[in-house]
Structure 1
Amino acid sequence: MNISSFQALWVVNRRFGIQCLIQVMCGLIAMGSASVALAETSRLDKVLQAKELRACIWPEYYSITYRNPKTRELSGIDIALTQELAKELGVKVRYVDSNFSQLYDALEQDRCDVATHAIGITAERLARLQFSQAYLKSGLFAVTLKNKEGLQSWDSLDQPGRVIAVAAGTLMEGIMAKSLKKAKLVKVQAPGTREQEVLSGRADAFMTDYPYSLRMIELTDWAAVIPAPNNMPTTEYAYAFAKGDNSLLLRVEAFLSNAKKDGRLLQFAKQHNLDPIVVLK
């Protein structure tokens, strides 16, 4: 083989090698793009593709996401709202039982797409979660036994020897930890309940909010409810999402805005006796 033939063969092989390299690189880029596209499927798209919205609820939350112990049926403002949202999305709702102490894990470990049990917006929760606009706003209420001696006013709660119960993970835990100076604060973990603490005499009162206080008034004959004074903080309630992708959050924002404008939010609030705490702006 002469030099000219060798050079020609080298050029051909070089061009063929470059073409192969280009094809391989293009294939890798295409595969990478497909992987990125798959990895970047939005939360909203996943809901639409699955035709299912996974909504975390606390089934003990009266007038919010309450499961009737006899019929096992769910009712409350957030049951009505999520059904409306699902109808607009063209999907079904799958309710996932949860509670406030499981809130972070439920969202961050992808057990549900959204927490829809009137999540109070606090600084601690804002550091880890995303929130929709507020749709309810509540102050604090103390629940105690009717005619309990020496316990008829808010000022009588924070006294030496008093025991005040809160459900672990609720916003009441943080508020009362800061405000109580003399009384003892007890955090109740499931399956224990605040009601059991009061009825057993282990606690003098437990702290809750407006929706849950309705349960005490309407479903028991032993409870007395003491509202907090005006100088105590109120908390806005919203839907909560894991941080990161905000596609579903934006869609829920649009839904809530429309529900406020067209009257559905107020309608559902009235149906569940929550109109005194509904947020319409």
Structure 2
Amino acid sequence: MGALLISPGNVYANDGRVEKITSAKKLRVCIWPAYYGITFRNNRDFQLRGIDIDMAKYLADDMKVTVSFIDSSFPSFMDDLDADKCDIAMFAIGQTEARRARVDMTEPHLRSGMYGVTTKTNSAIQSWDDLDKSGRVLAVQKGTVMEPYMLQNAKQAEIRVIVPPATREEEVLSGRADAFLTDYPYSRWMLVQHDWARVVPPLSPVNPVDYGFAVKKGQPEWLAYVNAFIRKTRADGRLLKAAKANDMEPIVILK
């Protein structure tokens, strides 16, 4: 079958993915539904909200198809892409070498460094410099960009890797950990959701990571199509609109 010409950017989608999506009239998007401000499912009304929910809807609108959100996670999204459970993963995926070896990453649309989260009653941790000290236990979630960075760079603190369904919050509240490391979006969620939480920001960005979307390897035209879409939303203002609507403006990449 011949190449299929579809906007944005007049990209020829001849690896078949765009044709498959348009034929099915459905874009399947893997998300992590616990990612506040990004792809978050509210337990009160079960609605999905976040910048990448908006971006997925924009992409589906541009393709003139419906969008179907498929629950995934950081540990499982690459397997889900390989198994063709979704066409694309859209939940602010940090761009790491390990992930690039497995999947193709799009151009970034967000960039975040690391933040600490502890309790308001923890008087021993007042600043970022108080985190990596002897006797401290710092929690990181398995599969996040914080895991390899802290395992490689922590000099004195013990790093505890948390595997779901266990949570970093439980580790801190129980006293098994002094703090946990996360990014800007999740730190906002902690302040919104938990009155016990206190965010510990660094004085300057620590391990800033570019976030984008991911597709299965071997689909260069589909990757080019999505990159053209990201550039289009940056130019026409939709990316900024989605960032403002979801309190992600401080980390959005507009150039």
TM-score range, shorter chain: over 0.9
Partner of 1:215: 189
CA–CA separation in structure 2 for the residues paired with 1:196 and 1:131: 32
Aligned: 1:227 with 2:230? no
The alignment status of 1:272 with 2:246, answered yes or no, reads yes
- Greater alpha carbon shift after TM alignment, 130-139 vs 104-113: 104-113
Which amino acid is the alignment partner of residue 216 of structure 1? Answer: M
1:68 corresponds to: 42
The answer on 1:200 being equivalent to 2:162 is no
Over 3 Å counting, the alpha-carbon distance change for 1:231 and 1:140 in structure 2 is closer
Structure 2 match to 1:98: 72
- Alignment-derived partner of residue 15 in structure 1: none
Matches within 5 A, 1:1-281: 42-230=16-204, 232-281=206-255
Per-residue CA deviations over 1:229-258 (Å, capped at 9, x if unaligned) read: 426220000001111012322221111111
CA distance in 1, matches of 2:75, 2:178: 23
Q: Distance in 2 between matches of 1:236 and 1:82?
A: 18
Query: Residue 61 of structure 2 aligns to which amino acid in structure 1?
Result: K
Aligned 8 A contact 2:15 2:221 in 1: no
User: Does structure 1 conserve the Cα–Cα contact (< 8 Å) formed by 2:115 and 2:187?
Assistant: yes
Q: Equivalents in 1 of 2:135, 2:233: separation in Å?
A: 47
Query: For the Cα contact (< 8 Å) 1:133–1:238, is it kept in 2?
Result: yes
**Identity across matched positions, percent:** 46
Q: Considering only CA atoms, is the larger Rg found in Structure 1 or Structure 2?
A: 1
Deviation digits for residues 87-133 of structure 1 (CA, Å, limit 9, x no counterpart): 11011111110110112211112111111000000111111111111
- Cα-to-partner distance string for 1:38-90 (whole Å, 9 max, x where unaligned): xx861111111111111010110000000001111000001111111101101
SS of the residue aligned with 1:233? coil
Equivalent position SS for 2:243: helix
Distance 2:182 2:230 in 1: 25
How far 1:182 sits from its partner (Å)? 1.1
| Distance in 1 separating the partners of 2:24 and 2:148 | 37
SS of the residue 1:100 aligns to? coil
Q: Which has the higher helix share?
A: 1
2:176 aligned counterpart, secondary structure: coil
Q: Does structure 1 retain, via aligned residues, the 8 Å contact 2:26–2:68?
A: yes
Output the TM-score relative to the length of structure 1: 0.84
In the alignment, residue 157 of structure 1 is paired with which amino acid? L
Aligned length: 244
Instruction: Report what 1:11 is aligned to.
Output: none
Aligned to 1:9: none
* Preserved CA contact (<8 Å) 1:43 1:246: no
Secondary structure of the structure 1 residue equivalent to 2:67:
strand
C-alpha distance in 2, partners of 1:247/1:231?
34
Amino acid aligned to 2:139: A
The amino acid of 1:73's aligned partner reads Q
Paired AA for residue 94 in structure 2: G
Equivalent position amino acid for 2:182 in 1: T
Deviation for aligned residue 1:218: 1.4
CA distance in 1, matches of 2:223, 2:99: 16
Q: Answer 1 or 2: higher relative contact order, Cα 8 Å, separation at least 6.
A: 2
The one-letter amino acid paired with 1:44 is V
Mind listing any 5+ residue stretches in structure 2 that lack a counterpart?
Answer: 2-13
